[in-house]
Amino acid sequence: MLSAAFIRRQLLRKVPPQRIEVTAYELDNALIPGLEETYEACRIACENSGVSFSAIIRNADFITEGTEMLSGDYFSTMPQTYDAAIVNPPYGKLPTSSEGYRALKAVKAETTNLYTAFLNLIIGLLRAQGELVAITPRSFCNGPYFKPFRQTLLTEMSVRRIHVFDSRTAAFRHDNVLQENVILHAVKHAGQGHTIRVSQSAGRKADPIYTRIFPTEEIVSPNDSEAFIHIPTSEKHIAARDQVSHLGSTLTALGLTVSTGRVVDFRAREYIRQNPETGTSPLIYPCHFNGLFVAWPKDRSRKPNAILDSDQTRSLLVPAGIYVLTKRFTSKEERRRLVACIYDPGRLLSHNVGFENHLNYIHKNGKGLDMCLARGLWAYLNSSALDLYFRQFNGHTQVNATDLRNVRFPTAEQLRRIGSHISNTSLDQEEIDSIVTGELKA
Ligand SMILES: C[S@@+](CC[C@H](N)C(=O)[O-])C[C@H]1O[C@@H](n2cnc3c(N)ncnc32)[C@H](O)[C@@H]1O
């Protein structure tokens, strides 16, 4: 399909190339007869247009042969550079202990996912001005694991166009693939252009495609050390982006830090207690979130409520205080991907508190915040504008501390003004949004 699409486009050019030579990789034996048939059809179509055509089908591992081609010690007649690559690579983890990982490392292309491994090799094998079209999960756009890949992509390749499938399911309905997918078009060693075309469709055959052109720095900020790739799509997203991207602060600028909860429950099992007892501190899980404030302890909870407060656990605990917590994982059904809640020790007598590893907590030098600021942060983090903005560069359902470090925040004064309006514990989404938007527009 990929070769046929590519060849069709070549034959439609005003001046088609004189010769097309394809090298195709496919590990699955069952697909080889189909490939042979496709190439026979391609050969006939090319010949009818006066273009000479040849194809090598490699029923072999592209990681093995790609690394060999890249290191130049591949003896056969295989080309060592390519003008173009079109790829729908396999998705899946590539363990650091695997042979593939070691082979990639030898050519400085190591990465922990198969699809980024394929792309790293392809980027290496393209000649200058060579073009890449790849359909992949969206996960490379953010997240710490993909940072080295993003850096390779953004230094080696000029991103020209990104197509986003709206739905997690439409494009790969038949394969049970629940990832959000994108198609990337990029050109090697061309220097980053001024603009990137972003298009979007629902992924079914006759669905309309919406296209917009954005300044490159709106997609890849030159000041972003994480090299996140933001993909704005609908009007709603663009409005959210306008509101959020102009905000003047970050957690660091606010003097705040976000950390991941330190209590990994299966490692601290011996210290964890179902219910509070003498000598324990509260242990907070996402199940304790209850609107504005954490509700603790939780009766008949599936998760424990307490952790022993002792010398052995001290490094897992933080001093009692007001913290803003966010969930790291939300279910696909949850309306928002960013969900925040305030931990207020109130009149609890405990000196410390444990935050479980499925949470992030926002603190000031390891200690709590003032309530007004905490309420402002709570409202902002729970606002629809931030959620929509956040989803543009977060294709998975995880919200890590690094993700939050890269988010723009209102100033401390704005947050406190927002906080001063948050008195009711049962605000609905519309009320939160009108308070936040009202302040940010003011
Ligand atoms: C996501 S599918 C795409 C299939 C096909 N290219 C398409 O677009 O319909 C990934 C394909 O890569 C093949 N594959 C997986 N690992 C491979 C490897 N190491 N080398 C070559 N092909 C591989 C699989 O057999 C599978 O057919």
List the domains of the chain with CATH numbers. Answer: 61-231 (3.40.50.150), 257-441 (3.90.220.20)
Strands (E), 46-145: 52-58, 82-87, 126-137
Q: Quick one: CA torsion of 318, 319, 323, 329, rounded to 10 degrees?
A: 20
* pLDDT surpasses 90 at 277: yes
- Which of 371, 343, 205 has its CA nearest to residue 285? 343
Q: For residues 140 and 229, is the Cβ–Cβ distance under 8 A? A: yes
Residue 378: count other Cβ atoms within 10 Å of its Cβ: 26
Helices (H), 175-321: 216-219, 235-245
Residue 152: how many CA atoms within 13 Å on its side-chain side?
18
The rounded Å distance from CA 88 to ligand 1 centre is 7
- How much is the pLDDT for 347? 75
Three-class secondary structure of residue 114 per DSSP: helix
Rounded Cα distance, 4 and 45, in Å: 10
- Judge if the beta carbon of residue 1 lies within 6 A of ligand 1: yes
Report the mean per-residue pLDDT for the chain. 90
- How much is the pLDDT for 170? 47
- Band of pLDDT at residue 332, cut at 50, 70 and 90: low
- How much is the pLDDT for 190? 80
* pLDDT surpasses 70 at 176: no
- How much is the pLDDT for 234? 67
- How much is the pLDDT for 230? 85
Q: For residues 308 and 280, is the Cβ–Cβ distance under 8 A? A: yes
The rounded Å distance from CA 25 to ligand 1 centre is 8
Rounded Cα distance, 154 and 323, in Å: 37
pTM above 0.95, yes or no: no
- How much is the pLDDT for 131? 97
- For 370-412, write each residue's pLDDT tens digit: 999 999 999 999 999 999 888 766 656 689 999 899 899 999 9
Ligand 1 atom closest to the Cα of residue 26 is: 22
* pLDDT surpasses 80 at 29: yes
Percentage of the chain exceeding pLDDT 70 = 93
Ligand 1 atom closest to the Cα of residue 63 is: 19
- For 59-107, write each residue's pLDDT tens digit: 999 999 999 998 876 555 566 799 999 999 999 999 999 999 999 999 9
* pLDDT surpasses 90 at 248: no
Rounded Cα distance, 261 and 419, in Å: 24
